[in-house]
Amino acid sequence: MEISTMSQALQLHAKILKTPDNTPDQNYQKGLFKLFTFTALSPSGDLKYAHSILNSLRYPSSYYYNTMIRAYSQSPDPTIAFSIFLSMLHDPTSTFPRPNNFTFPFLLKSCARSRLIRLGKQVHGQAIKSGFGTDLYIKNSLIHMYSGCGESGHACKVFDKMGERDVVSWTAMIDGLVDNDQPVKAIELFERMLIDGLEINDATIVSVLRACADSGALSMGKRVHGLVEERNVALKANVSTILIDMYAKCGCIDNARQVFDDIVDKDVFSWTAMISGLASHGECKGAIGLFKEMVEKFNVKPDERTMTAVLSACRNSGMVNEGFQYFRTMRKKYGLKPTIQHYGCVVDLLARAGRLKEAEDFIRKMPIQPDVVLWRNLIWSCKVHGDTERGERLIKEFELLKSGDSDCGSYVLAGNVYASAGKWDDKARVRELMRQKGLIKPPGSSKIEVDGLIHEFIFGDSNHPDAKMIYLKLDEVKEGLREEGYLPKVSEVLLEMDAEEKSFQLWHHSEKLAVAFGLIKTSPGSEIRIVKNLRSCEDCHDVMKLISKKYQREIIVRDRIRFHHFRNGCCSCGDYW
């Protein structure tokens, strides 16, 4: 009897219950096996029902325990898997059910999903005690677990000590490094994999393309694209989608569009990746037009991410009315319930346009609980638009400085708002709070790829091998821009110092160091591509416009918000970011 519904499962169970459970009839065992597997693992099954079947068994084998652990590891509450494991260890009915090499990977998956690192380490120890310390499948699961819990160092130790590795081991480690914001290391590991002549699969391709997208490593991204075409992996939708994303995030929106156009059967993910890419590059009308083509011509239903991309396009171009229209039709037209991300886009849409009161009123009337990110975005816009009174009031009202001991973002923002208002004592108080809590502001950084290598700069960087040459180039650029009428925007430096010191600070921003390096190391007339981890400041933005004109270079900068294409003294963002 085949089972595809719970109704059929119940009929089979009724038949099984009429048969004595000590019967030697193989049909009985097969029926029980089929019933339990369906109820535990099928999307149409019933996990609680499967649990009750397990509890009713007189002599459950390891398979039944492992299946339940597996089912709960992918359920909304993966922690229940541990109670099943404890029941397995202490089952009084038999010595037969023992953990095996199928048990621990599912437990480790539960740890990763729940981010329970201490419990994960205990499972690691238990696996070793049970004699499975060298099992390849378990080692791969350990890499995934440690990476998923933010412990990429431990994942690397497991990987380095493995006597045997397969493509899953390498891919899990590459993926883990990307997830832990170490894309350059992920690319280096992939290069080792290629040198060793190991076979790669579509999962490996996706992982390394994610690393290229995050770091802006266009050369490696193109190289991987070549491997994709050699292996014909591009037929798989997930690879095509990540290729679109990679090219878009590396500043090559035309290449992204070519990949998109070559896809025969486009799914919602590929449409969304292309719409999102266009929106981030400031081609907002193109993004909206593509969305209309998707739903009207090809009848592809958007999902939540598609609507986030559409709202982002409206936000990046100041299309407030259009953004509200798409937000309102989400539920009515497409049956999509707005999430916190969609509400956040609307808040940002209003706040960037300077409609701060409307943005505040919108947050207060939201039917879902706003998170701290929404309030921080509004407060940041208060600083940008000079409404520091509103910003200070919101900081106090929502106790932004008590948002969490591990979150320094709120403290940095509050300090910047106080500095903008000239309240240096209040800023000093915020810095003292950060010191007491052990919070350190992550440095601003800029990456640039030259000859296939990623070079990363931080503020005032002097560790680069070409540092002396870079600062000489910066001095040359600065003198040249002064002749063009450049005046430093010293208001961007939120420190209590004189104008000359502030000007010195501005010229040591990581973005300027990266562009100076690019001017030195790349050929005249070629593009310079920079990836930042923070929003571009107004002074750097002005400097990039002037450099693009004076040196006749196109400079493409990806900041935390969007792309800026600087050409002949102008920026694609229209100075709206």
Give the model's confidence band at 438: pLDDT under 50 very low, under 70 low, under 90 confident, else very high.
Answer: confident
Closest CA to 151 of 171, 180, 174, 178: 180
pLDDT at 402 over 80: no
Q: Side chain identity at 443, as an amino acid letter? A: P
- Looking at residue 212, what is its pLDDT? 97
Helical (H) or strand (E) element with 566: strand 563-567
Helices within 398-466 (DSSP H only):
409-420, 424-437
3-class DSSP state of 10: helix
- Looking at residue 235, what is its pLDDT? 60
- Looking at residue 493, what is its pLDDT? 86
- Looking at residue 89, what is its pLDDT? 87
Closest CA to 556 of 471, 445, 448: 448
Q: Where are the domains of the chain?
A: 355-441, 445-571
More reliable by pLDDT, 475 or 92: 475
Closest CA to 549 of 471, 475, 480, 474: 480
- Looking at residue 406, what is its pLDDT? 63
Average pLDDT in the 253-260 region? 96
pLDDT digits (tens, 9 = 90+) for 462-493: 999 999 999 999 999 999 998 888 999 888 88
- What average pLDDT does the structure give for the chain? 92
pLDDT digits (tens, 9 = 90+) for 325-369: 999 999 999 999 999 999 999 999 999 999 999 999 999 999 999
- Looking at residue 93, what is its pLDDT? 66
Cα distance from N-terminal residue to C-terminal residue, the chain: 62
Dihedral angle sign, alpha carbons of residues 216, 222, 223, 224? positive
Phi then psi dihedrals of residue 447, to 5 deg: -110, 145
457 pairs with which residues across the strands? 446
Q: Distance (Å, rounded) from C-alpha 221 to C-alpha 235?
A: 17
Dihedral angle sign, alpha carbons of residues 270, 274, 280, 286? negative
pLDDT at 398 over 80: no
pLDDT digits (tens, 9 = 90+) for 162-194: 989 999 999 999 999 999 999 999 999 999 999
Closest CA to 63 of 82, 87, 39, 37: 37
Helical (H) or strand (E) element with 446: strand 445-450
Average pLDDT in the 254-262 region? 96
DSSP conformation class of 298 = S
- Looking at residue 485, what is its pLDDT? 86
- The structure tokens 């390394």 sit at 208
pLDDT at 94 over 60: no
Q: Distance (Å, rounded) from C-alpha 161 to C-alpha 178?
A: 21
Closest CA to 150 of 123, 204, 114, 189: 114
- Looking at residue 25, what is its pLDDT? 63
